[in-house]
């Protein structure tokens, strides 16, 4: 009887401080974990398979890496590698791992040796780790969410700036998410310190009222989301749907015709109720449905516009360097 070899549970390589390192060799001493999360920052990036061209496309890679730079700057990190060099590293990593399917890519910058207190900053350059793993998209699956407004307040710019992707910020998200989960909801919506709608634990919020898309501005304690900016542009240029950025009251959620979360992780995910108030007819709304279809085609490059938003990754071109 011939044994069937199962697929590996993880990719073969990670990119770590300029080297392609085999997964099992990418280790640190346990004591280096003490204060890593205080100043660590990261990015969430997705690459989508184009089944027609047998390649994958990384969505808005330069924009994500520019935000990664902003996050490092705010945490007083002076990286060794430029955004262009990290872009090449990500492409090389996907090629080395012979990536063929939808993939989530996570660059992370952190202080290791020397980062021994809450102060975070050290004289050393930050470590940078990039790893990637497969994911299953929810686009065009019919997935919907029931949301609840959390009693926790969203962190603000003068507390822990939410406009960048800092690991520590997600403790606020975790508190909100765990609360609404215990209360029977799928996802949380968080208000800011002005009692206006901010965002979800890991995604921005958009609502539709009388044919107009409305979303809180970036000064409402939200992440400066690459996906959010992309959708606002596509609503105007492709769907001929007006949009506006303004403060949003809690009760506007209860009276909205449509609501959806958007972000790298959430993609475009419809919300069908908030605090047990039904949104619209309780189904995926027509404007949301059109955006789901468009977003799906754009990220995959399926006869879609915005070719400049996609970084194509062909097959493996050179042998990975093993550390």
**Residues 293-321 pLDDT 10s:** 999 999 999 988 999 999 999 865 444 44
Same domain, residue pair 26 and 160: no
The verdict on 21 and 100 lying in the same domain is: yes
Q: 177 and 248: one domain?
A: yes
Report, as residue numbers or ranges, the catalytic residues: 165
Q: How confident is the model at residue 220 (pLDDT cuts 50, 70, 90)?
A: very high
Q: How far apart are CA 195 and CA 278, in angstroms?
A: 21
Cα–Cα distances (Å) from 58 to 133, 202, 237, 300, 313, in that order, read 13, 20, 22, 9, 8
Residue with the larger pLDDT of the pair 51 and 6 = 51
Last residue of a domain, one of 134, 168, 198: 134
205 and 101 share a domain? no
CB-based burial label for 199 (10 Å; 0-12, 13-18, 19+): buried
Say if strands 197-199 and 19-22 run parallel, antiparallel, or are unpaired: unpaired
One domain, residues 215 and 258: yes
pLDDT of residue 318: 45
CATH number at residue 93: 3.30.470.10
In a domain, 320, yes or no: no
Q: Examine the domain organization and report whether 151 and 293 are in the same domain.
A: yes
Nearest Cα residue to 54 out of 104, 113, 99? 99
Region of poorest pLDDT, from 144-148, 258-262, 282-286, 302-306: 302-306
The pLDDT assigned to 2 comes to 37
Summarize pLDDT for 93-144 with one digit per residue, the tens.
Answer: 999 999 999 999 999 999 886 456 666 555 678 999 999 999 999 999 999 9
Residues with Cβ within 8 Å of residue 189, at least 6 apart in sequence: 147, 148, 149, 150, 197, 199, 200, 205, 253, 274
Q: What percent of the chain has pLDDT over 70?
A: 91
Contact by Cβ (8 Å): 187, 261 = yes
Are 150 and 273 contained in the same domain?
yes
Shared domain for 206 and 104, answered yes or no, is no
* Domain limits for position 170: 145-300
Residues 226, 247 contacting (CB under 8 angstroms): no
Encoding tokens for residue 192?
């800011």
Q: Are residues 283 and 149 in the same domain?
A: yes
Same domain, 94 and 172: no
Q: What CATH number has the domain bearing residue 231?
A: 3.20.10.10
Counted domains in the chain:
2
How much is the pTM?
0.92
Model confidence band, residue 236 (pLDDT cutoffs 50, 70, 90): very high
């Amino acid at each position: 009887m011939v044994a069937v070899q199962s697929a590996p549970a993880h990719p073969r390589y990670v990119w770590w401080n300029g080297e392609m390192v085999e997964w099992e060799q990418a280790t640190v001493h346990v004591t280096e974990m003490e204060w890593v999360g205080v100043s660590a920052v990261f990015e969430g990036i997705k690459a989508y398979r184009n089944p027609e061209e047998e390649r994958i496309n990384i969505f808005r890679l330069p924009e994500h890496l520019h935000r990664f730079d902003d996050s490092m700057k705010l945490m007083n990190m002076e990286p060794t590698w430029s955004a262009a060099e990290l872009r090449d590293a990500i492409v090389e990593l996907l090629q080395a791992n012979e990536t063929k399917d939808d993939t989530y890519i996570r660059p992370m910058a952190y202080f290791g040796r020397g980062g021994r207190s809450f102060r975070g900053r050290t004289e050393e350059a930050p470590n940078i780790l990039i790893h990637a793993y497969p994911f299953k998209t929810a686009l065009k699956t019919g997935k919907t969410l029931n949301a609840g407004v959390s009693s926790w307040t969203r962190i603000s710019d003068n507390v822990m700036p939410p406009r960048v992707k800092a690991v520590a910020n997600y403790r606020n998200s975790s508190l909100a998410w765990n609360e609404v989960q215990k209360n029977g909801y799928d996802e949380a919506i968080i208000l800011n310190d002005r009692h206006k709608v901010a965002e979800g634990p890991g995604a921005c919020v958009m609502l539709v009222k009388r044919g107009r898309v409305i979303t809180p501005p970036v000064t409402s304690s939200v992440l400066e989301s690459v996906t959010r900016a992309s959708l606002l542009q596509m609503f105007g240029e492709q769907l001929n749907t007006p949009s506006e950025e303004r403060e949003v009251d809690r009760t506007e959620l209860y009276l909205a015709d449509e609501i959806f979360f958007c972000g790298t992780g959430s993609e475009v995910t419809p919300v069908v109720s908030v605090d047990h108030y039904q949104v619209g007819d309780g189904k995926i709304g027509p404007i949301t449905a059109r955006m789901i279809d468009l977003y799906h085609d754009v990220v995959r490059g399926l006869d879609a516009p915005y070719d400049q938003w996609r970084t194509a990754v062909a097959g493996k071109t050179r042998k990975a360097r093993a550390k």
